[in-house]
Amino acid sequence: MAIEIERKFLVKDNSWKEGAAGKLYRQGYLSREKGRTVRVRRVEERAFLTVKGAGDGLSRPEYEYEIPVVDGQELLDSLCELPLIEKVRYLVLYAGMVWEVDEFLGDNRGLVVAEIELSSPDQRFEEPPWLGIEVTGDPRYYNSSLSREPFCGWAPG
């Protein structure tokens, strides 16, 4: 098991995007109960099956296994709950840290979320100028929630 410690933020503008190259992520859920999710994810020609346990908002136990891409595609097409989540993930380097910036598609279009993975909950990092408000632990922004209640239904403004 790995413990995933992550902080999640909205972004203020598109300046993070300059020069960044993204990859299409397609993912769905075989289970998205409160304390336990089972996710299938396809990223280009690779696929992963990931089990996540209950977290405290900031950290969650995570078990991730690579599976054959043909299996991943079949699981997405036939067994996962609909709708699937589609997003483009960009890796953005800032002050020596890697930010994962997810630009959502489909019913979640308009939502852009930046995540940083930390090695401890109190690890300090420099905030990039494009960083918006923190949404760590806000269940509306969980990918498993965005599948059931997409951003288009509750986007502010």
Which amino acids are annotated catalytic? 29
Q: Binding to its own copies by residue 58, rule CB under 8 A?
A: no
Q: Output the smallest distance, CB 2 to its own copies, in A.
A: 10
Q: Binding to its own copies by residue 3, rule CB under 8 A?
A: no
Residue range at the interface with its own copies (CB under 8 A); choices 19-27, 48-56, 119-127, 138-146: 48-56
Cα–Cα distances in Å, from 6 out to 98, 115, 116, 122?
Answer: 12, 7, 6, 11
The SS3 of residue 29 is: strand
The total number of residues written for the chain in this structure: 157
Compute how many other C-beta atoms are within 10 angstroms of the C-beta atom of residue 52: 20
Q: Binding to its own copies by residue 71, rule CB under 8 A?
A: yes
Query: Given the complex with its own copies, which of 14 and 31 has the nearer CB atom?
Result: 31
Cis bond before residue 83 (omega within 30° of 0) = yes
Residue range at the interface with its own copies (CB under 8 A); choices 15-23, 34-42, 116-124, 149-157: 34-42
Contact 26, 83 (CB under 8 A): no
Q: Output the smallest distance, CB 97 to its own copies, in A.
A: 28
The SS3 of residue 118 is: strand
* Residues forming the site for its own copies (CB under 8 A): 1, 30-31, 33, 35-36, 38, 49, 51, 53, 61, 63, 65, 67, 71, 74-75, 78-79
